[in-house]
Amino acid sequence: MAWTKVVKGPKARRTKGPPSPELSNRFALLAAPAETAQLPAPAGNPGSTTATGPALPKTKHFCFTFVLGPTRKMPPTASVMDFFQLFVPDHVLKNMVVQTNMYAKKYQERFGSDDAWVDVTLTEMKAFLGYMISTSIHHCESVLSIWSSGFYSNKSIALIMTQTRFEKILKYFHIVAFRSSQTTHGLYKIQPFLDSLQNGFDSTFRPSQTQVLHEPLIDEDPIFIATCTERELRKRKKRKFSLWVRQCSSTGFICQIYVHLKEGSGADGLDALKNKPQLHSMVAKSLCQNASGKNYIIFTGPSITSLNLFEEFEKQEIYCCGLLSSRKSDCTGLPPSMLNNPDAPQSRGQYRIKMKGNMSLICWYNKGHFRFLTNAYSPVQQGVIIKRKSGEIPCPLAVEAFAAHLSYICKYDDKYSKYFISHKPNKTWQQVFWFAVSIAINNAYILYKMSDAYHVTRYSRAQFSERLIKELLGLEDTSPSH
């Protein structure tokens, strides 16, 4: 099937105000045969008498029956710990205790006994996690700063456990103490925890129809980078993994995480992931393995967007809208005429569209050419991008939707990434573990804000972490600071 040029119909009128990141009915138009339509198509859609140019397929509203929000109603008296343990329950913490003690025994059998070591208990393991989580609100590069006499000391929690005991637990801390002879995956030390966390994400929350695939902000804190000496920067090891997520664009809840390890300099390394779109395609398939048959709309960046991937997802009833880049995207099967900039000067808001079946390729101009590939939005439904200085800039509805949903995710990341645990361990599996715990706490806070408990206590994100730390440490005074 060849790509067909689409001539836009009359400009759609809209109410004033910025585009909402919440899903609306007009953000769910899919080109499809009319006999499958479940709701009447709005005026001005493809196939109506207002569209001009070649005949276009008629549209439908594809059905999305899931109700956004938590799957379990938490009582108004639910504690912060109750929300955290939706993802990290006691049986997971008890397994950490068992595996840590097993690893300590194995280590001492190999390298000699450690007279100062005593088997860790569940209470101590909770306190250990509490100390680590405290670095998400009292940012310090090393958690040991808690016991120091300097600026980053925290006397309010330092007396619960001695620094010596904490360092012993940190030395032997493990999720999986022994490597199975059949294990080849580089994440074997943390995979059971990641699987348990994923089960918690799947069972506690129903995301909105619109979701985003992207890399969250987990890079080094720029404050620490600015204060490091050149020698300290040289000593820093490059992060050996890439963390990707599928995230609800209405709430910020992270539905699924995927970790790609840089294992040497081979074809599966992180450098290859940055340069080969097919590897990003593999990441996208892994993130959407539980999304089939639900009519989700997935927004993607240039490294993931490709015609082959979107067509494969469509067969699974997953629909997409992605930004294209001739440098970063796999442009196989796309018309070259749409990938090259026109010779004639363009004015802001001008766009060209070509269509192939249900797939639309959009080239939109706004101080530069932006290209989008989508099978989730009607090619002739129009929207606007609102700029403070420039006012309304016309665009296809797909462009407005992409901008609205990505803008929400960016604002969410800017706000909540600063609550990631800032302790920087050297071991890759531990880095992944603490990032995963940080994501779990952010998700727990989202569930808390959507519960009746929020209307009783109304904790901010920082207060939520403070309360969690105190409950993990077993402190009697659990009132948040203001």
- pTM for the predicted model, two decimal places: 0.83
Q: What is the pLDDT of residue 169?
A: 97
The residue type of 178 is F
Q: Which of 384, 377, 412, 382 is nearest to 249 (CA)?
A: 412
The pLDDT of residue 129 is 98
Helix (H) or strand (E) holding 282: helix 277-287
CA pair distance 379, 396, nearest whole angstrom: 7
Helix (H, G, I), strand (E, B) or coil at 353: strand
Q: State the alpha helices, DSSP H only, in 68-162.
A: 80-84, 90-111, 122-134, 155-158
How many residues are there in the chain? 482
Give the pLDDT confidence score for residue 458 in this predicted structure. 96
φ and ψ at 228, to 5 degrees?
-80, 145
Under 8 Å between Cβ of 375 and 296: no
Distance separating alpha carbons of residues 419 and 411, to the nearest angstrom: 14
Strands, E assignment, 204-327: 205-206, 210-214, 241-248, 254-261, 296-300, 318-324
Predicted confidence at residue 426, as pLDDT, reads: 85
pLDDT of residue 132: 95
User: Residue 423: what pLDDT?
Assistant: 84
- Looking at the DSSP bridge assignments, the partners of residue 363 are 352, 371
Which residue, 97, 145, 189, is CA-closest to 431? Answer: 189
Q: What token pair was written down for 354?
A: 């070509």
10-residue mean pLDDT series, the chain (482 residues): 66 41 38 30 32 37 78 96 97 98 96 95 97 90 85 86 96 90 78 96 96 80 47 58 93 94 54 63 93 94 94 95 92 91 85 93 92 92 81 91 92 88 88 95 97 96 96 71 42
Alpha-carbon distance 126 to 473, whole Å?
A: 7
Residue 118, amino acid: V
| DSSP class of 75 | P
Query: Which residue, among 412, 417, 464, 431, has the nearest Cα to 221 in the 3D structure?
Result: 417
CA 241 – CA 190 distance, rounded (Å): 13
